[in-house]
Amino acid sequence: MGHGPRDGFDNPIIEWVDSRLPIFTMMQKEYGVFPTPRNFNWFWNFGAIAMFMLITMIVTGIVLAMHYTADTKLAFDSVERITRDVNGGWLLRNLHMNGASFFFIAVYIHMFRGIYYGSYKGPRELLWILGVVIFLLMMATAFIGYVLPWGQMSLWGATVITNLFSAIPFVGEEYIMPLLLGGFSIDNATLTRFFALHYLLPFVIFAVVFLHIWALHVTGSNNPLGIEPKGPQDTLPFHPYYTMKDFFGMIVFMILYAWFVFYAPDALGHPDNYIPANPLVTPPHIVPEWYFLPFYAILRAITFNFNLFMLAGLGLLAVFMVEFIWRYKPKYLSGAQGILLLVAGGGLAVFGLLADFNQTWAIPMTASTDVPISAKFGGVLAMFGSIGLLVVLPWLDSHPIRSARFRPLFRVAVLVFTLSVFVLGYAGSQPSDKVYLSACLGDAQACEAIEHGNADHIEAGHEPTVLALDNTMIAQAFTALYFSFFLIILPLLSRFEKGRELPTSIHEAVLAKKQKAGA
Amino acid sequence: MSADTDTTNDNTPHSAHDAEGETRRDFMQLLASAFGVIGGALAAWPLINSLNPAKDTLALATVEVDISGIPKGEAKTIMWQGKPVFVRHRTEEEIKMAEAVEVQSLTDKQSDKERVQRPEWLITVGVCTHLGCVPVGQKMTDTRGDYGGWFCPCHGSHYDTSGRIRKGPAPKNLAIPPYEFINDTTIRIG
């Protein structure tokens, strides 16, 4: 960085510094004249907005840390004291706790932008992966931060999430849990280490953001057309064009943020967190913060064990995918063998699933004590897998066209995927046994009895069949959709979608659009 | 030695005329890296180990409890290692229910005998084996689920009067802490 030739500065002080440490040359190159595609739409604001939120979180967080006490006996009261007694403490706290939500809003839109316009594709794969790393670090930081006020939801949310690690076979319960908690349950030792990590991780995020931006400045930005700029006619200098556009977008975003901070500071939180933590009483309905809900739904959707039949079946299906879809021409297998794989894999997986649901069949190796992956561990794997898939996204989608504008099928797929994330988010917020629709088939009288809660009075042999659509099923269906977007739809589209003709250059497309609008 | 003539070429890998020296250098590099990794791991260990439960936390590992005041059918909650422990004074009927269950039909196969020292006292860790919530059912007026033991409100696990999982997502029975009867009215947990 900053080793290239320097133009020099007129101001002698700036020149003195710059000739020794070319920081002004670097700023000028990376943020002044930096060539940026001229056709950005508003989606390209959210990187800068996310950066603004990160800085807001760090600055408010440092000051809050000066007033906070990390001790189970004092933490809750110290947070209340910040809100009530510290000068302007209510403002700092509201900025910080709503800032987390708005940081996630900005980052989720930023990620949607990346997927919709294919920004993750070569040569920007590493840029994208660094982004996923930032997202994971943000999730860890936000989760840990929510524990610090030491309310009921802090304690029990942390209990549920740290218990996930006990699902890791062999070492989870015995070694990882005590190491993580520093005791036998979430207690003072846990709170103090969480506070230390909550202070540390934002700076780690900042470092990875630096790498993320560095990688961005090597490849340059993607743009809504998804084609590379060919020359100066396709780009604009970053300043003043995009500094101003980012600034404007930031102000609009800040208005919304400020509205929450000043008028609805608790709208995105849980009332239960204003009850001091009590290790003897569990709140009736534990829900994570809204930004974790889709992943919480995926976690809870795995209510079945993965027995050997299912794993073998899924393995065969994976071989089929690799051989016949990802590789354009099958290398090792013939078409007939492919069909055999598909039938055998699908059959085994379905058989394993049915065997798990019907324990009365007593099929060997399907009892819950004999399965390699229990439902609990399966849920953990699915939840982390759902984020892990983002890491390999550049290789799951190998279609040469980036932008969804020129891929009509991909566009539909991305929108359906986005919708499924929202549905999962809703499912994550609801109790798992909530029934949305139910139909009673059979004896009319018996059905009426069930409806009035008198199921005990039904005569033997007249029991009706009750079909119910509950929250778990919704979560399972949309979890399946989430995973099939990555593992089935994207590889298939990469191979079979034809796509529209790309414009020859950015400036021609921009001028054509302008002419059309003028006519 | 030929290595002497090669000193100016130190940084060029694969200098073909001195394969012997290169192998030696590669080996030294490998050895040094390996020692670096081992040294790093050894230096990291005290830092990581300090995060394990401390001695004072471990010292809180036992409690003595007076159980004389618990009426039949009710249970008392005791804190042990930061976790609730249920001490339940079971009624005759509850004992009979727990003993009558066919063990083979259970998710986590344990007979009632294996889970109690004295049939009228069931002592169990009050933490749902699913995701760690505290089940309800300590008082006779609480919701005790379909099997009369405990019910976990978080994700709907039902436990029977022996604290065994009967319905819902939890994979295991409520854990039995190590305990002993010091006399008829006092137990020591841990």
Give the contacts of A51 (CB within 8 A, at least 6 positions apart): A209
CA dist A191 to A85, A93, B48, B53, B55, Å? 23, 19, 17, 13, 17
| The pair of three-digit structure tokens given for residue B141, joined into one six-digit string | 């007026």
Residue B117: phi, psi to the nearest 5?
-95, -40
> If you average pLDDT over each of A246-250, A470-474, B1-5, B170-174, which comes out highest?
A246-250
Residue A373 CA from chain centroid, whole number: 24
Q: How far is CA B112 from CA B130, B152, B160, B187, B190, in A?
A: 21, 20, 10, 19, 21
Range 37-56 of B in CB contact (< 8 A) with A: 48, 51-54
Query: Do the beta carbons of residue B126 and residue B135 sit within 8 Å?
Result: yes
Catalytic annotation, residues of B: 155
CB of A183 within 8 Å of a chain B CB? The answer is yes
Query: Are B124 and B85 within 8 A, CB to CB?
Result: yes
Q: In Å, what is the CA distance from B47 to each residue of A312, A400, B44, B59? A: 41, 48, 5, 21
ω into A123 cis (within 30 of 0): yes
Place of tokens 């390209």: A44
Minimum distance, in Å, between the CA of residue B139 and any CA atom of chain A = 14
Size of the A and B interface in Cβ pairs below 8 Å: 81
Please tell me the predicted confidence (pLDDT) of residue A454.
Answer: 66
Query: Distance between CA atoms of A60 and A94, rounded to whole angstroms?
Result: 10
Which residues lie closer than 8 Å to A345 by C-beta, 6 or more apart? A312, A313, A314, A315, A316, A317, A319, A320
Q: Are B75 and B58 in contact (CB under 8 A)?
A: no
Q: What is the pTM of this model?
A: 0.89
Cβ neighbour number for residue A89 with a 10 Å cutoff: 18
Q: B100-131 burial string, b = 16+ CB within 10 Å, else e?
A: ebeeeebbbebebeebbeebebbbbbbbbbbb
B129 has pLDDT over 90: no
Decide: A500 and A408 in contact? Cβ < 8 Å: yes
The reply to whether residue A281 touches residue B134, judged by beta carbons under 8 angstroms, is yes
With b meaning 16 or more CB within 10 Å and e meaning fewer, what string describes A439-468? ebeeeeebbebbeeeeeeebeeeeebeeee
Amino acid at the residue A477: A
DSSP alpha helices (H): ranges in chain B? 2-5, 19-49, 55-59, 92-100, 112-115
A280/B134 CB distance under 8 A? yes
What does the mean pLDDT of chain B come to?
Answer: 84
Q: Where are the beta strands (DSSP E) in B46-174?
A: 63-66, 75-80, 83-89, 121-125, 148-152, 157-160, 165-167
Alpha-carbon distance B59 to B85, whole Å?
17
- What whole-number distance in Å separates Cα of residue A44 and Cα of residue A146? 30
Q: What distance, in Å, lies between the first and last C-alpha atoms of chain A?
A: 47
Bridge partners, A315 (sequence order): none
A176 has a chain B CB within 8 A of its CB: no
Q: Tell me the CA distances in angstroms from B176 to A500, B86, B123, B180, one per residue in order.
A: 65, 10, 6, 12
B102, B109, B128, B154: which to substitute to probe chain A, counting the most A Cβ within 10 Å? B154
B66 residue type, one letter: D
Identify the residue whose tokens are 């709170």. Answer: A191
d(CA A91, CA A69): 18
B82 touches chain A (CB under 8 A): yes
In a mutational test of the B interface, the residue from A153, A163, A184 whose CB has the highest number of chain B CBs within 10 Å is A184
What does the block give as tokens for B81? 């290692």
3-state secondary structure of A497: coil
How much is the pLDDT for A455?
A: 64
CA dihedral A288, A294, A295, A297 (to 10 degrees): 80
Residues of A in contact with B107 (CB under 8 A): 368
Is there a contact between A284 and B79 if contact means CB atoms under 8 Å apart?
Answer: no
Q: For B168, which residue in chain A has the nearest alpha carbon? A: A303
Q: How far apart are CA B115 and CA B8, in angstroms?
A: 77
pLDDT for the residue numbered B170:
82
Residue A73 touches partner B, C-beta closer than 8 Å: no
pLDDT in the model for residue B3: 44
Cα A247 to Cα A236: distance, rounded to the nearest angstrom: 16
- Chain-centre distance for alpha carbon B139: 27
pLDDT of the residue at B20: 59
Quick check: B154 contacting A, CB < 8 Å? yes
Q: pLDDT by residue for chain A (519 residues), tens digit each? A: 445 678 889 999 999 999 999 999 999 999 999 999 999 999 999 999 999 999 999 999 999 999 999 999 999 999 999 999 999 999 999 999 999 999 999 999 999 999 999 999 999 999 999 999 999 999 999 999 999 999 999 999 999 888 888 888 888 888 899 899 998 889 999 999 999 999 999 999 999 999 999 999 999 999 999 999 999 999 999 999 999 999 999 999 999 999 999 999 999 999 999 999 998 888 878 889 999 999 999 998 998 889 899 999 999 999 998 888 877 778 888 888 889 999 999 999 999 988 888 777 777 877 777 788 888 889 999 999 999 999 999 999 999 999 999 999 999 999 999 999 999 999 999 987 788 988 887 777 777 777 776 666 666 667 777 888 989 999 999 999 999 999 999 999 998 999 999 999 999 999 998 888 876
Which of A156, A182, A369 shows the shortest C-beta gap to B133? A156
Residues of B with CB below 8 A from A156's CB?
Answer: 133
Distance from CA of A455 to the nearest CA of B (A): 14
B chain contacts of residue A184, beta-carbon cutoff 8 Å:
53, 57, 81-83
DSSP B147: T
| Identity of the amino acid at B176 | I
Residues of B in contact with A280 (CB under 8 A): 77, 79, 84, 134
Residues carrying CATH 2.102.10.10, chain B: 57-189
The verdict on a CB contact (< 8 Å) between A163 and B131 is yes
Contact between chains at A179 and B51 (C-beta distance less than 8 A): yes
Q: Which of A160, A164, A281, A282 to mutate to test the interface with B (most CBs of B within 10 A)?
A: A282
Cis amide leading into A294 (omega within 30): no
Contact yes or no for A303 and B156 at CB 8 A: no
Cα(A465)–Cα(A456) distance, integer angstroms: 15
Task: Say whether residue B178 is in contact with chain A using an 8 A CB cutoff.
Answer: no
CA–CA distance, A304 with A311 (Å, rounded to integer):
13
- The packing angle between helices A46-65 and A188-219, to 10°, is 150
Q: Using only C-alpha atoms, what is the Rg of chain B?
A: 30
Contacts of A176 (CB under 8 A, 6+ apart): A165, A166, A168
| Cβ contact, residue pair A183, B57, below 8 Å | yes
ipTM for the predicted complex: 0.74
Sole residue written with tokens 């989608």 = A397
Alpha-carbon separation of residue A261 from A90, A93, B166 (angstroms): 10, 9, 46
CA-based nearest distance A426→chain B, Å: 17
Please provide the distance, in angstroms rounded to a whole number, between the alpha carbons at the two ends of chain B. 70
Contact between A138 and A101 (Cβ < 8 Å): no
Helix, strand, coil percentages for chain A (3-state, nearest 5) = 65, 5, 30
Q: What is the pLDDT of residue A468?
A: 85
Phi-psi region of B66 (alpha: psi -120 to 50; beta: other; left: phi over 0): beta
Is the minimum CB–CB distance between B171 and chain A shorter than 8 Å?
yes
Are A159 and B156 within 8 A, CB to CB?
no
Contacts of A183 in chain B (CB under 8 A): 53-54, 57, 81-82
Q: How many Å apart are CA B177 and CA B87, to the nearest integer? A: 11
Whole-angstrom distance, CA of residue A495 vs CA of residue A509: 27
Contact residues, chain A, for B57 at CB < 8 Å: 182-184, 187, 189
How confident is the model over B167-177, as a mean pLDDT? 86
The pLDDT value recorded for residue B18 is 53
Across the interface, of B57, B153, B171, the residue whose CB is closest to A376 is B171
Show residues of chain B in contact with A368, CB under 8 Å.
107, 171
Dihedral, CA atoms, A493, A496, A499, A502, nearest 10 degrees? 100
Q: Which amino acid is located at A474 in the chain?
A: I
Residue A168 in contact with residue A174, Cβ under 8 Å?
A: no
What CATH number is given for B57-189 in this structure? 2.102.10.10
B166 touches chain A (CB under 8 A): no
Domain ranges of chain A: 42-268
Give how far Cα A229 sits from Cα of A224, A226, A241, A506, Å. Answer: 12, 9, 17, 6
Q: What is the CB neighbour count within 10 angstroms for residue B28?
A: 10
What is the predicted pLDDT for the residue at A494?
A: 92
Look at B107 and A368 and tell me if their CB atoms are within 8 Å. yes
Residues of A with catalytic function: 217, 221, 245-246, 289
Average pLDDT over residues B34-50: 94
Q: Which residue has the tokens 């908690």?
A: A181
Interface probe, candidates B49, B86, B131, B165, chain A, greatest A C-beta count within 10 A: B131
* The domain over range A42-268 is classified in CATH as 1.10.10.60: no
How far apart are alpha carbons A409 and B43 in whole angstroms?
A: 54
Q: Which two tokens stand for residue A325?
A: 């879809």
Distance of CA A387 to the CA centre of its chain: 6
